[in-house]
Structure 1
Amino acid sequence: MNTLLHWVIDILNSTALSGFIMTNAYLFPFLEMAHFVGLCLLFGALIVVDLRVIGLAGSVPIQRVDLFVRFALIGFAINLMSGALFVIGDSDRYLVNIAFWGKMGLIALAGLNTAYFVRRIKPQMDAGVDTAALTGDARVVAWLSLTLWTCVIILGRLIPYVEDL
Structure 2
Amino acid sequence: MSDLLIWVTDTLNATALSDLVMNNAVVFPTLEMAHFLGLCLLFGSLLVVDLRVVGFAKAIPIERVDMFIRFAIIGFSINLISGLLFVIGDSDRYLVNIAFWLKMGVIIIAGLNTLYFVRRIKPQMDTGVESGHLQHGSHVVAWLSLVLWTSVIILGRFFPYVE
> What's the TM-score once normalised by structure 2's chain length?
0.98
* 2:121 corresponding residue in structure 1: 121
Matched, 1:84 2:90: no
The C-alpha deviation readout for 1:103-122, integer Å capped at 9, x for no partner, is 00000000000000000001
**Residue number in structure 1 paired with 2:148:** 148
- Per-residue CA deviation, residues 80-117 of structure 1 (Å, 9 max, x unaligned), is 00000000000000000000000000000000000000
Note if contact 2:61-2:128 (Cα within 8 Å) is conserved in structure 1: no
Distance 2:48 2:59 in 1: 10
**Residue equivalent to 1:59:** 59
Q: Distance in 2 between matches of 1:59 and 1:6?
A: 54
The equivalent of 2:138 in structure 1 is 138
- Supply the AA of the counterpart residue of 2:92: D
- Structure 1 pair 2–57 and aligned structure 2 pair: CA distance change class (3 A): farther
**Unmatched segments (≥5 aa) in structure 2:** none
Structure 2: how far apart are the matches of 1:149 and 1:71? 15
Residues 1:110 and 2:110 are matched in the alignment:
yes
Matched, 1:42 2:70: no
Output the amino acid matched with 2:161: Y
Cα distance in 1 for residues equivalent to 2:78 and 2:59: 28
Are the aligned partners of 2:106 and 2:151 in contact in 1 as well (CA < 8 Å)?
A: yes
- SS state at 2:96 partner: coil
Deviations 1:49-72 (A, max 9, x none): 000000012122212111000000
RMSD of Structure 2 on Structure 1 (CA) = 0.9
Question: What residue identity is the alignment partner of 1:4?
Answer: L
1: CA distance between counterparts of 2:61 and 2:94?
41
2:97 equivalent to 1:97: yes
Could you tell me how far apart the structure 2 residues matched to 1:80 and 1:59 are? 33
Paired positions, count: 163
Percent of aligned positions with the same letter in both sequences? 71
Contact map agreement 2:63 2:127 (CA 8 A) in 1: no
Gaps of 5+ in 1: none
> What CA distance in whole angstroms lies between the structure 2 residues aligned with 1:59 and 1:108?
33
| Letter paired with 1:57 | A
4+ residue runs of structure 1 moved beyond 6 angstroms? none
Q: What TM-score, normalized to structure 1?
A: 0.96
